[in-house]
Amino acid sequence: MATKHKGPGRETRALDAYIALMRAAEAVTARTHGHLAAAKLTIGQFGALEALHHLGPLRTTDLARKLLRSPGNMTTVLDNLEKSGLVRRVQEESDRRCTTVSITPRGGALMREVFPRHVLEMVRELGVLSPREQEELRRLCQKLGLGSGA
């Protein structure tokens, strides 16, 4: 669906591109994250577990920044993961304001079960694009994510 805005070309072009980007992202997310429900994980919880699984323990603030989450949202995500025994939070002795989050053995086992399916879903979904198109998409998204500041 294109924009119904009747502005100058640069406005309608930008709006059309944004609409297409958001629709594609939401459609891909809906098609590729269904397996998380079977594991009783939200997309946010999976993101946190994936980061901890691949990067190791992180401060809560660093994890929130990496996942583009607000501190309040990150706290909720971690509360639920901790209740499920998938992560552990430890207050740092040197600075009690800081908490380090690590994945538990149970969380690691869940990631070893769920992550391969996640990879297969991404390969299948992005397989509609050629390798060159996938690289170009990555490059363009990275460029867009960095922004122009204008």
Instruction: Give pLDDT tens digits for 95-150.
Output: 778 899 999 999 999 999 999 999 999 999 999 999 999 999 999 999 998 886 54
**How many domains, in total, are found in the chain?**
1
Mean pLDDT of 83-104: 91
Asked if the model's pLDDT at residue 11 lies above 50, the reply is yes
CATH of the domain at 19: 1.10.10.10
Summarize pLDDT for 40-76 with one digit per residue, the tens: 999 999 999 999 999 999 999 999 999 999 988 999 9
Is residue 14 in some structural domain? Answer: yes
Instruction: Answer whether residue 26 shows pLDDT above 80.
Output: yes
Which pLDDT score is estimated for 150? 47
Position 3 confidence tier, pLDDT thresholds 50, 70, 90: low
Token pair 């060159």 is at which residue?
Answer: 132
In a domain, 150, yes or no: no
Domain assignment of residue 45, yes or no: yes
Look at residue 3 and tell me if it is in a domain: no
Residue 146 lies in a domain: no
Which spans in 33-104 are helix H?
Answer: 34-38, 43-55, 60-66, 71-83
Q: Is 149 domain-assigned?
A: no
38 has a pLDDT exceeding 50: yes
Print the domain residue range for 57: 9-141
Q: How far apart are CA 47 and CA 141, in angstroms?
A: 19
The arithmetic mean of pLDDT across residues 12-39, rounded, is 90
Which value, to the nearest 10 degrees, does the dihedral of the CA atoms of residues 63, 66, 70, 73 take?
-50
User: Who has greater pLDDT, 66 or 10?
Assistant: 66
pLDDT of residue 7: 72
Report if residue 69 sits inside a domain: yes
Q: What is the pLDDT at residue 96? A: 76
Q: Is residue 4 part of a domain?
A: no
pLDDT at 66 (0 to 100): 93
**Residue 33, pLDDT above cutoff 90:** no
* Per-residue confidence (pLDDT) for residue 136, from 0 to 100: 96
- Give the residue among 129, 115, 118 at the shortest CA–CA distance from 24: 129
